[in-house]
Amino acid sequence: MIDVVVLFFLFGLAAGLLRSELKLPGALYESLSLVLLLTIGLKGGEGLAQQALGPLVPQLGAVMLLGVAQTLIAFAILRGMGRLGRADAAATAAHYGSVSVATFAVGINWLMTRSIAFEPQMAIFLAVMEVPAIMVGIVLARGVGRQTDWRLLAHETFLGKGVTLLLGGMAIGWAAGPEGLAPIKGLFFDLFKGVLALFLLEMGLIVSRQAGELRRRGVFIVAFGVLMPLLSALLGLGCGMALGLSVGGLTLLATLAASASYIAVPAAMRLAVPEANPALSLGAVLGVTFPFNILAGIPLYHWLALQLAGVAP
Amino acid sequence: MTLSTEKRTLLTVITEAAIEQTLLRDLDRLGVRGYTVSDARGRGSRGVRDAAWEEAANIRIEVICPREQAESALGHLQARYYADYAMVAFLQDIEILRPEKF
């Protein structure tokens, strides 16, 4: 059974591939992503208000290390097997070490549709996993040199739109608690699936534009775009087992690990590693990995989580 | 009626929205006193940049300034950005009123 929101993605993809005139206004795309980020933040904050925050600190350290490890592994594969240049390999690796909010949102939706619970701290994991890969990617490309304007980059990444909205939403959700959030529940929680559906329609259109790039790059990028998330998901599952997450939490951490950034990282890499070809990274991330994760990856990661947790499906 | 216009140079830069902040800081450092930024779409050697989403967004920056300043800014852009970014920049001679502004 395929989730209805994924059908919207396929619709957008088909319309784009057929070169339909369909185009969503840029402001709508921005608004939808704003609502998605705030909703994920609010939900996480609401859950966190009901538990102690102290035990989370080592967990955050663990998922940040996970992001670093993924970036290094991806870099080694791209350099070694893909024979990419240093800049291209480092920039693409950073995309794969970081996370995608859209993939995470589809994962949450998949679990909610099946009434599978997950830990509220997943939203913080999403926020903290975005950044380490960017730093590692820049160091891999540049070394720790003077040419990199770290202050500007830190500002871009930590105060970028995504992290700001996630953390802001979390703070509001945490401060307001379930009762405080009740008046705005209609917009943020009840409309979540509708917003996600429209967002994925636009994602389908964006992904369809990567088709040309994939034809040019061929087999290696497609293979990397599928195998890297699988490898990352296994790392994520291992990390989640070590943290003692539930099946829902394991599924989401695997999804986060498997996902690859297509907003924060491309923007940061454009500034810090300009000689890397953005079309190459985005072709792999958007053309292969994002569709793979939302169509096949998430159900697979859930199945693997069930096996690991020792629960019969 | 004759207007007492003066000559200045208009520097126009069309480039990726991703580097807006760094570019504007560069212009400030070069002593530019004002600029106009607008969103832009188009097509060139780096493909269609239709602003459908952030990665494909373009901007156009316009600066009116004395000739020497415009030339040094253009030289800086060429050295720093031309190799790695989608960028078109050019100069035009224009006539302005209120020379003290530019």
Q: Kindly list the domain boundaries of chain B, sorted by start residue.
A: 12-97
| Mutation target among B26, B46, B53 for the A interface, most CBs of A within 10 A | B53
pLDDT of residue A152: 74
Contacts of B15 in chain A (CB under 8 A): none
Amino acid at A160: G
Fold of B12-97: Alpha-Beta Plaits (3.30.70)
Provide the 10 A C-beta neighbour count for residue A228: 27
Q: How open is the CA angle A137-A242-A119, to the nearest 5 degrees?
A: 85
The nearest CA of chain A is from the CA of B4 a distance in Å of 43
Those residues of chain B whose CB sits closer than 8 Å to some CB in chain A are: 16, 18-19, 21-22, 47, 51-55, 57, 81, 83-85
B53 contacts A26? CB cut-off 8 A: yes
* Cα of B63 to nearest chain A Cα, Å: 22
Residue B41, classified by CB atoms within 10 Å of its CB into exposed (0-12), middle (13-18) or buried (19+), is middle
Q: Write the CB contacts of A48 (distance below 8 Å, at least 6 apart in sequence).
A: A56, A120, A121, A124, A170, A173, A174
Residues of chain A short of pLDDT 50, as ranges, are 312-313
Q: For an interface test with B, give the residue of A100, A101, A161, A209 to mutate (most B CBs within 10 A).
A: A209
Residue with tokens 């209805």: A4
Output the pLDDT for position A145. Answer: 64
Q: How far is B22 from chain A (nearest CA, A)?
A: 8
Angstrom distance (rounded) from CA A44 to CA A170: 6
pLDDT, residue A131, reads 87
Flag if A26 and B16 touch (Cβ within 8 Å). Answer: no
Contact yes or no for A262 and B55 at CB 8 A: yes
Domain ranges of chain A: 4-13+24-309
What's the CATH class of domain A4-13+24-309? mainly alpha
* pLDDT digit string (tens) for chain B, length 102 residues: 678 899 999 999 999 998 998 899 999 999 999 999 999 988 877 666 665 556 678 999 999 999 999 999 999 999 999 998 989 999 999 999 998 888
d(CA A16, CA A22): 8
Test mutation, B55, B81, B82, chain A, max A CBs within 10 A: B55
pTM: 0.88
> If DSSP codes are grouped into helix, strand and coil, which group holds residue A1?
coil
> In chain A, what residues touch B57 (CB-CB under 8 Å)?
26
Rounded to the nearest angstrom, the minimum Cα separation between B26 and chain A is 13
Report which DSSP code applies to B54.
G
CB contact under 8 A, A275 and B21: no
Q: Look at residue A179 in the predicted model and tell me its pLDDT.
A: 92
Q: Which residues pair with B13 in a beta bridge?
A: B61, B89
